[in-house]
Chains A and B, each alone.
Chain A
Amino acid sequence: MAERVLRLRRRYVGVTPYPDGVSLEDAWLRIYEVFRDLYGLMGVVASGLKRVKVGGSLVIACYHDWVPELVGVLTLVNEIGGRPVSLDIYKISGTIKGVVGEE
């Protein structure tokens, strides 16, 4: 009989760069870089960090107990491609629909 696999709950964080005009791909790469600097490769794996491609929005996913760390990283991102930028979180939700609907 197959063992039940633990299903970890995910949270989806909707992010908007400020000011406008920043590439979402560049923003995601910078977030990944800062996360890996702070928490290492095992942190990236343990947190389940990934980008969810939903239309024109930047949505980052992680497991529910890594939300403080992800928000901390998003707060610490202060430049993308040499340009001063801040990342505003507009929604944290347990579903993608909950995040995309809010934007």
Chain B
Amino acid sequence: MRAGYVDLWVAGELAIIQRLKTLGYSHCAITGDHDGLEELRARADEIGVRVVGKNVLEAYSRGDVLNRVKERPRHTLVSIVPMTREALMVAVRDERVDTVIVHGEIAEIDRHVIQVLQNPLELTLNTVLKVMGDLKALRKIVGVCKTSIVRELPLVISSGASNATGLRKPRQLAYLAAALAGTDGPCLETVSETPLSILHRRRFTYG
């Protein structure tokens, strides 16, 4: 029996969390200002959704990645947006990084990156919607989806939603990678096992 569905990138609003519960999610990671995180977490627990904080950080070099993850807050996920190949190579293997964000200008995920890859890649619905008008960027995103499915790389799909209409049912998100890669779907592990393993790893590490 599946343990639950996870949306690993949403904005921190109560309406979003209520809609997540309606759609069948059990966990979510919220970005933005974490000042009201404890209160939001308490309200979300009453609704039935477990909430964790998340920081999304851009990095342009190896030093950037190392500096960004050095002072990670406790009980907060850290995701890196690698803007260069150097940052990508460091982000995919640093165990302090939880996910590596896939975007339209990401460096190619070739055999060298795959060889050192330890951390899951994360693709958001928001990113796919943004690149729909840009063939070059869409080609990169489709390439990452195909590589991840064929090579069985850990991949997480999240919504990246800033409001309730940006959310989708877990199975719909799971079909997204299959639809882009042209394979039979859905890839349910991208919205269930893979993100849950990230949450369990952090909870286990920090108690």
Contacts and interface: CB of A to CB of B under 8 A. Distances in A.
A88 B129 CA distance: 17
B125 interface: yes
A86 interface: yes
Nearest to B185: A68
A101 B33 CA distance: 44
Interface stretch (B5-13, B38-46, B109-117, B175-183): B175-183
Given A68-B183, A68-B186, A69-B179, A75 B125 contact: yes
- Among A71, A73, A76, A85, max chain B CB count under 10 A is at A71
A78 B184 CA distance: 23
Nearest to B184: A68
Contacts of A98: none
Contact of B178 (A68, A78, A86, A89): A68
Interface in A55-94: 68-69, 71-76, 78, 84-86, 88-89
Interface residues of B, number: 24
- Among A18, A78, A84, A86, max chain B CB count under 10 A is at A86
Contacts of B173: 75
Contacts of A72: 175-176, 178-180
Contacts of A71: 171-172, 175, 179, 185-186
Contact of B128 (A68, A69, A76, A84): A76
Interface stretch (B51-59, B94-102, B161-169): B161-169
Q: What secondary structure prevails in chain B residues at the interface with A?
A: helix
A40 interface: no
Contacts of B164: 18
A72 B184 CA distance: 12
A31 B173 CA distance: 17
B165 A78 contact: yes
Contacts of A75: 125, 168, 172-173, 175-176, 179
- Among A19, A37, A68, A78, max chain B CB count under 10 A is at A68
A36 to B, nearest CB: 13
Interface of B: 23, 125, 128-129, 132, 163-169, 171-173, 175-176, 178-180, 183-186
14 contacts: A68-B183, A69-B179, A71-B175, A72-B175, A72-B180, A73-B179, A75-B175, A76-B125, A76-B176, A78-B165, A78-B166, A84-B163, A85-B165, A88-B172
Given A85-B165, A86-B168, A88-B172, 12 more contacts: A37-B132, A68-B184, A71-B171, A71-B172, A71-B179, A74-B172, A75-B175, A84-B165, A86-B165, A88-B168, A89-B171, A89-B172
